[in-house]
Amino acid sequence: MMTEGNIKRLVSKLSQMRGAALKLGQFMSIQDTHLLPPEVDKIFRRVQDSAHYMPDWQMEEVLTASFGSSWETHFTSFSRVPFAAASIGQVHHAVLAASSSPTGKDEGVAVKIQFPNIANSIASDLGYVKMLLTAGRLLPKGLFLDRTIQVMKDELADECDYSREASFLRRYGSPEYLGQDSRFKVPWVWEGSTDRVLVMEHVEGASVGEAVVASLSQEERNDIAARIVELCLRELFQFRLMQTDPNWTNFLWNSKARQVSLVDFGATREYSKEFIDNWLRLLQAAASDDRAACAEWSLRVGYLTGEENDVMVNAHIDSMALLATPFKASTSQPFAFGPGSQWADITAQIRSRIPIMLQHRLTPPPPETYSLNSGAFLLASRLRAVVDTKKLWDTVVESYRFE
């Protein structure tokens, strides 16, 4: 099954499907937890690197359906070749005409156009991916693939609604969220946007990835990472609203304005007060190395049923305690991320416990926790940053009010 020829055919097929394949790849490989067998992981990583654009006539059909046959009158220029392709759509440069622009003058915009019928194909595409992953029994039963597939199905359906994404852009850009925080830039949304075409302000900046890291000073890298870790904590414990896609291309660094621009809110999730209360109690217990409290709050959150053996319980509590290390009073600050750092050692220790948990887990993780990720830490690691994580934790968490 895993010959090079077959892998190429699978990558080609999954790249055309994009939505379901990329979502599963993001869930299981981008978080660097090594859940997948190497050969399957290799397929998803290659799919993520592939770019399939819709032909021009098809793009024209989507724009006409959204804005009418005279859609071009809204723009003084429109680049028909996309500059990026995501899991469910592609993005074009354009200039919004002054007559349509919210500022009353020509404005550069990014136009996100959804692939036709992708919302209708989610279930069948995920079925195809499930068939691929279950062929040859490549995956451990502890992954609870059916639950993972269902969560992805629900999240992809949400991400196909660009009107929903537009509403989150407006919320993040409001004064109550990040609108008055000069460290961040949230683009405005054109009111003419639809559920299949999203038009937003074009923002300057370079993706915080490998190409950018080499050109940044250590001070800049530390600053960017600190902002993103703080934002992650504020999203959870102030907003109860999180942009859950950990992909670093969603963060752009504008070195001239000294701003981090946030450009993708399709994977934004809201959390109930009850869940965040319990989740914070669990993290506080883990950060305090209180194993009894960690077990109790893991039961309340839904990680454990109470029927697990000691091997599973201890592996789970160990992993939670390791994850909370950057926020412990006993951890020396500032905390170092990146290769050869304390964080690299922590991730290796967590990874070593995953096979145990996959073997002994009795229940899938709570649905809310599928979206929670260590994306902020992964980005800090990519930046090889050094951050006072305990100070950020205290600043955000000390003002939290439990029910």
Measured CA to CA, the distance from residue 321 to residue 291 in angstroms comes to 8
pLDDT per residue over 51-85, tens digit each?
567 889 999 999 999 999 999 999 999 999 998 87
First vs last C-alpha separation in the chain: 53
Pair type for strands 259-262 and 184-185 = parallel
Closest CA to 35 of 381, 320, 385, 361: 361
Q: How many helices (H) and strands (E) does the chain have?
A: 16, 13
DSSP 36-104: S-HHHHHHHHHHHT---PPPHHHHHHHHHHHH-TTGGGGEEEE-SS-SEE-SSEEEEEEEE-TTT-TTS
Residue 215's pLDDT is 85
DSSP code at position 302: T
C-alpha to C-alpha distance for 83 and 198, rounded to whole angstroms: 15
Tens-digit pLDDT profile for residues 376-390: 888 898 899 999 999
* Structural domains present in the chain: 4-52+119-157 (no CATH), 56-114+161-201 (3.30.200.20), 204-403 (no CATH)
Catalytic residues: 245
pTM: 0.86
Determine contact, residues 315/302, Cβ cutoff 8 Å: no
Tens-of-pLDDT digits for all 403 residues of the chain?
A: 556 676 667 666 666 666 666 666 655 544 444 455 566 666 666 665 555 678 899 999 999 999 999 999 999 999 999 988 777 889 999 999 999 999 999 999 999 999 988 888 887 778 877 777 676 565 666 667 788 778 888 888 898 999 999 999 999 999 999 999 999 999 999 999 999 999 999 999 888 866 567 788 999 999 999 999 999 999 999 999 999 876 777 899 998 999 999 999 998 999 999 999 999 999 999 999 999 999 999 999 999 999 999 999 999 999 999 999 999 999 999 999 988 898 999 988 988 898 899 889 899 888 888 777 668 888 898 899 999 999 999 999 999 999 8
Residues forming beta bridges with residue 96, ordered by sequence position: 75, 107
Cβ 303 vs Cβ 367: under 8 Å: no
